[in-house]
Amino acid sequence: IITLLGVEAQPAVVIGLMVALVAIAVVYTAFGGMRAVVATDVFQFVLLTVGVVVAIVALLQVVPFQSVVDAVGQQKGAGGFNPVVSEDFGPAYMLWMVLVAGVVSSAIWPTALSRALCIKKESDVPKTYLIASLIFMGRMVLPAFLGIIAIAYFSGAGAQMAATLSAHGRDADLVATPVMLGDALPAWLVGLLAVAMFASFMSTQDSYLFCWSSIIARDILAPLGGRNDDASFQIWATRIGIVLIALYEIYWGLIYEGGEDIWDYLAVSGSIYFCSGLVLLAGGAYWPRATRRGALAALILGFTALVGLGPVKTALGLADASAPVIGFVAIGLSLAGFIIGSLSERAPASTSASG
């Protein structure tokens, strides 16, 4: 956002802006709850969609679509059009993304489920997911297309723009799109995009803060303290959790130095819970023979997804193993543990009676 507005990204400016935005999100999420989350979600989706679509239309007047196609072909070859043959993707990575960004995000992703669980009528849930599917597709495809346009834009922008981009050093690939937007678009549209990105940032923050803090309050702290029916305790525990998670997020974002791409890190760290969660959800719902022992075995073996993190892979001598392969192995182990653990325990009474 700072680069888009043409402001020099000094560390103090970036840190100050991030802390201020997170603080604002903490305040209105803690006191507004799900209503605040839904309101900001709707606002940012509408604003960001309008801004990005208008920006793409305007950019295609500067960089013709055929120029975009030609630039991708020159720089990426066949892999720029076919992810199956791309060295950066390939079949394994594609299947991994279908699982992570497709099945998981709709079936067990807490931030999506928290909205679905707040819907009173069961018949409204499929409608919500249908509408959300279009939004999810747009939020992935449209920003990606902006990045593709940036490839063509800088390919023919001349030495001056190339020098401007190279001045950002190793962050050049991260700022290429906002630099293009700030240079090629009119000021009013740049302002609209900046506001939309601010709203998007806030929406992301409130969704995760409320989701995880409420899960911790309701599913961990309340049962441990014997306060499952104490609404006041759960509300205050949720608010405290929002603050603590925000503080950890600031530490993770500003201090922690990761060893892999941020998207891969999120996919791998998320797989720690969804590898077993996916098995438990499907097995618990559709396999009558499932037992508590099988569920515990699946949860424990799901932790093998930790091997996908860069430092862990290096320590175990598995630096060449890809995150998707490790993720699929973790799911397989979790599934095997679920089945073996369930079969090794006496069947539930209801299953025995029905048999």
User: Each residue of 93-149: pLDDT tens digit?
Assistant: 888 888 877 787 777 777 777 777 778 888 888 888 888 788 778 878 888 899 999
User: Each residue of 159-197: pLDDT tens digit?
Assistant: 677 777 777 777 778 788 888 888 888 988 888 888 888
* pLDDT given for residue 172 in this prediction: 78
Average pLDDT rounded to a whole number, residues 246-252: 89
Q: Please report, rounded to a whole number, the percentage of residues in the chain having pLDDT higher than 70.
A: 94
Distance from C-alpha of 79 to C-alpha of 272, rounded to nearest angstrom = 30
pLDDT at 343 over 90: yes
User: Each residue of 54-63: pLDDT tens digit?
Assistant: 999 999 999 9
Q: Please report, rounded to a whole number, the percentage of residues in the chain having pLDDT higher than 90.
A: 17
* Backbone torsion region of residue 6, taken as left when φ is above 0, otherwise alpha when ψ lies between -120 and 50, otherwise beta: left
* pLDDT given for residue 355 in this prediction: 42
CA distance readout (Å), 192 to 48, 150, 196, 198, 260: 9, 19, 6, 10, 32
* pLDDT given for residue 39 in this prediction: 75
- Which residues, other chains included, contact 354 with Cβ-Cβ below 8 Å and sequence gap of 6+? 288
